[in-house]
Amino acid sequence: MQIRNNQAVIGITMLFKKQDNHEIVRKVGRGKYSEVFEGIDINRDEKVVIKILKPVKKKKIKREIKILQNLAGGINVIELLDVVRDPQSKTPALVFEYINNTDFKILYPRFTDFDVRYYMFELLKLRLIDWGLAEFYHPGTEYNVRVASRYFKGPELLVDFQEYDYSLDLWSYGCMLASMIFRKEPFFHGLDNYDQLVKIAKVLGTDDLFAYLDKYGIKLDKQYHDILGRYAKTPWQKFITSENQKYISKEALDFLNHLLLYDHQERYIIRKNS
């Protein structure tokens, strides 16, 4: 979604309700900016998810709320039910609809070839539940590269290219596909952000990496000088084994070739059918 002006984020008034109508049941997760709990909406006797925010700038909270309000009703967007605050601690919390979930790590070992195809299709329709780092997108704007889980970070983040766009998600999508068909999870397993790029280069080669850097005028961090060697591109066939070959098809490998590309402008893009 593209928004021409995000001044509304600054002007939005946060109207907090009291937390009395919600009861916390158990903790289900935590992150850098929040802790997440399963809860009950007492009035409606329904399960909800309560995201209790850690101390952050009000502007960040306002931005998350504004984005959720703008996207309300989207088929892939979690519903924000309430914005509440504890009257004593003044701690703000966002109340969301409860989404049933099965841990991917439980499903992964059981997947058949059909399951992989179905999962990758459904992955494009998953409910998006965490908007804490979401930004209003403006083409040509520089954004923070300290986003995304390491194993799914696109090369643009690892080389500090800040003018990234939606194509970043297609890299992450490709990482998921590679991990499922080659039965290697995660597929790119770096020890840190620097090593993550090295792991990628050992598969995609360094010639295309340096061509990408030259095209966009990107200078590598000096720390790469000692750890990034020269690597030829590894054919996907090298990753095929007797155990995973039943998941491999020409179509899957061709799909990977259009997802796992250094150059974000060359990756497949997703368009909604009209």
Binding region for ATP: 51
Q: Position 14: which residue type?
A: M
**Interatomic CA distance for residues 274 and 263, integer angstroms:** 28
Tokens of 123: 């992955």
CA-CA-CA-CA torsion sign (207, 208, 211, 213): negative
Contact 209, 233 (CB under 8 A): no
Give the distance from CA 68 to its chain's centroid: 16
**Interatomic CA distance for residues 154 and 169, integer angstroms:** 8
Q: How many CB atoms sit inside 10 A of residue 10's CB?
A: 11
